[in-house]
Structure 1
């Protein structure tokens, strides 16, 4: 299994996360809310493509393998990802427009930082643990 495609997707997701972090660091939500909403939508699209690809191709490949450790880790990661995806979906639906962001600024900042960290940790874990087993 060639993982280059998935690592490239991770890179594109990391770019969106970086853009979000830069905008959040400016601490001027009034001016940056529309661009933040744009990047949240972009991140949603990139995550959707990545997770669909993983679900349809990568994880089924892992599940068919003879390496019990890889099969077990793949099941563990897939279950964890379902929770992260659900969490991100709530975040996206709550803050995907300028008006929604500005209506609850403190919660937006807290939730943004939390979800960014969760996604970064997940990709790091995949790259350092699961992908290395292949």
Structure 2
């Protein structure tokens, strides 16, 4: 199974997270507009990625005839649910400059928590999930 597009999207998402981190480090208030715009753009990419996984990748693994991959896919899909919900709430909460500017500490705390969870999850997929798919394990 070719999963290059999923891996490529991970690179894009990680770069967007890094950009948000850099903007935050250089000043939330001064960069509130760019941060909010970055959150909106990141949200669009994440939603498309999750939809592709839910509509194509996971069903493909279930139909693969490989019980181990089907089970692994189901586990990863179920584990992603709470992370995706937290990310969605984050994206809705911090999608305007006024919200970001109005609660810098809240934004920083939410970003540190949610973006770290997304980052760690993608690293886990890159390290464990995608190689298992590619090897047919």
TM-score with structure 2 length normalisation?
0.92
Q: How far off its partner does 1:79 sit?
A: 1.0
Post-superposition Cα deviations, 1:84-110, rounded to whole Å, max 9, x if no partner, equal 111011111111111111222111101
* Equivalent-residue separation in structure 2 for 1:17 and 1:29 (angstroms): 15
For structure 1, the residue ranges without an aligned partner over 5 or more in a row are: none
Q: How far off its partner does 1:66 sit?
A: 2.8
CA RMSD between the two structures: 1.0
* Equivalent-residue separation in structure 2 for 1:96 and 1:36 (angstroms): 8
Matched, 1:45 2:62: no
Post-superposition Cα deviations, 1:21-60, rounded to whole Å, max 9, x if no partner, equal 111111x222101100010001000001111111111111
* Equivalent-residue separation in structure 1 for 2:68 and 2:16 (angstroms): 32
Moved over 4 A (4+): none
Alignment of 1:21-60 (within 5 A): 21-26=21-26, 28-60=27-59
What does residue 121 of structure 2 align with? 122
SS at match of 1:66: coil
CA contact (8 A) 2:29 2:100 kept: no
CA contact (8 A) 2:29 2:104 kept: no
Alignment of 1:1-134 (within 5 A): 1-26=1-26, 28-134=27-133
CA contact (8 A) 2:87 2:115 kept: no
What is the total number of aligned residue pairs between the two structures?
Answer: 133
